[in-house]
Amino acid sequence: ELKVEQNPLFLSMQEGKNYTIYCNYSTTSDRLYWYRQDPGKSLESLFVLLSNGAVKQEGRLMASLDTKARLSTLHITAAVHDLSATYFCAGNTGTASKLTFGTGTRLQVTL
């Protein structure tokens, strides 16, 4: 059974700083997904990483995947307040479309 762990669970950072959220998973996962959830809102897809070494970037967020280490990272560059949200990673196994979500990382960017 796939298990997905994120750390940290909570991250408070100042505007302008860089930081990384880590996502470890227990067994082989074909794909790795990152989602964002604003308070009181739904989950929004950010990235899907399809193969080892994949890197995707959107604005100040960059996600990467290392399937050998079973690790994905979400790097935040020069954080701004608008990035405050909870970030989830999720993996799947085999051909199943079922995703296993991590517990989420609540990011708070302070002015």
Partner 1 sequence: DAGVIQSPRHEVTEMGQEVTLRCKPISGHDYLFWYRQTMMRGLELLIYFNNNVPIDDSGMPEDRFSAKMPNASFSTLKIQPSEPRDSAVYFCASSLAGTSGNGIQYFGAGTRLSVL
Give the footprint of partner 1 on this chain (CB under 8 A): 31, 33, 41-45, 48, 50, 88, 92, 95, 97-99, 101, 103-104
Shortest Cβ distance from residue 60 to partner 1 (Å)? Answer: 21
Shortest Cβ distance from residue 24 to partner 1 (Å)? Answer: 17
Q: Where are any strands of DSSP class E within 4-97?
A: 4-7, 10-14, 19-25, 32-37, 43-49, 55-58, 61-66, 71-76, 85-91
Smaller CB distance to partner 1: residue 37 or 77? Answer: 37
Shortest Cβ distance from residue 18 to partner 1 (Å)? Answer: 27
> What is the rounded distance in angstroms from the CA atom of residue 105 to the CA atom of residue 87?
5
